[in-house]
Structure 1
Amino acid sequence: MKYKNSDDNRYRVQFMRATEELMDQLTVKEFISYLEENAEFEDYTVEYIDKKCVKCRAYDLTEENSKLHKEFLVTEDGRVFYWRSLISRIELVDDEPIPKKPLKDRTNEDLVIEYQTTHNEDLFRALLEKNTGLLHIIVMDYRIPKYEIEDLLSESYIALIKAVDNFDPTRGVTFTTALKVFVRQHLNRLYNEVTCQKRYNGTDPASYEELVEINKDDVRGLDCDRFTQIEVDEYLEGLEAKDRYVVTLLLRGYNLSDCAKALNITNATMTWRIKRIRKNYTAYSMAV
């Protein structure tokens, strides 16, 4: 709430600071409920307000942890006043709401945060409209048997829902980055289900070049001992193709020997490569 007349701010009773702060936080309707629960009801009264007689309820509100108090009037039509003096009242009104931007002009983060609270479908439709282009770009990189582009787009909408539900602005990444993680993770899992590529079984599941292209973002969004969801997404941007492929295989469950066979190198070379990846990631994580 605020004082209806800005000039009345000079009459703020600073020695009742807790009450003033409370009044700043609540709406008029909420403050009336607060008075009904916490203030002492004194009497019904009739006051001359705006050139007419108005029925009111008088309350005496004592400051928490003190003996200081304020006297308030609540009119029958839901207005609130407090007595500045024996003959002077100050009216309290709601703060004017800050007008919101049109949905199309709001950021992804703003839309997501509000949607997580309200689940307003208009907000989700705005998010879908703002990010359809990005989803289309991502799915164009995928070739999954029996799935057309429109099918993959439909699958990406499922990932969009998950991204919206799980987005945490405190993680320090944009919603766009998080969305890429969820979409690529979802499509990679879909690819794995369709092609039934599980652990290494003695034969290469596909050519090295094909797997690097298909699974270039496969670990994004997954959790592992040394790799966390969004950090992986950013870290992999700087890896060379072979190192990115190794991390993909490890997070899929391949052991060191499987990885070595897939890359046609010795176990010793694979051990060296994994140690180098871990060392580089440790340096990266300390830097960020």
Structure 2
Amino acid sequence: MTIGAETLIQRASQDSNAFEQLFKQYMPLVGKVIKTYHLRNYTRDDWLQEARIAMLKAVEHFDGSQGSQFGAYYKMVLVSHIRSLLRKQFAQKRTVDKQYVLADVPILEAFQQDLVRGDTVTVTLNAELADFFADLSPTEQTALNALLHPAQETTTGPARNVVQRIRKKMMRYLYE
């Protein structure tokens, strides 16, 4: 390892410009490593952020006095970091998280709160979602009413089963 490269690595833990320069130098390595893995809902920016976190760990713990190469060490730290992320994603207790869309419930809860408050948002939502409500079957309308107004109606077993179908339709409508 050259003295300039060793100095750059030492400066990278304190200087953000040196860190970025070092990170750009190892971008081809990062690209190769992240191509082999897939994490749900991770964009390229997320991957680059995780690669920067691994770079920071590598810079802080690297000891080149024994003649070891920083590139090999960084690759090992990056792969280890990604595998930790994979273990976290596939953990048994997080399997339920994979089955839900994050926007689903908050949209319905916000919609329910707006209906209760009588905001102008309710009027806007009613105008925009008139087509959505028109497409619902009578059973789905009853289930949605029970979901939005729990004190007025009791949700029956069949209506509970319909709620999932309504949520899917609503998400499809909102994404279109």
Q: Which bracket does the TM-score occupy, shorter chain normalised?
A: 0.3 to 0.5
Q: TM-score, normalised by structure 1?
A: 0.29
Going by fraction, where is helix more abundant, 1 or 2? 2
Q: Which has the larger radius of gyration?
A: 1
Q: Taking CA–CA contacts closer than 8 Å with sequence separation of 6 or more, which of the two structures ends up with the larger relative contact order?
A: 2
Going by fraction, where is strand more abundant, 1 or 2? 1
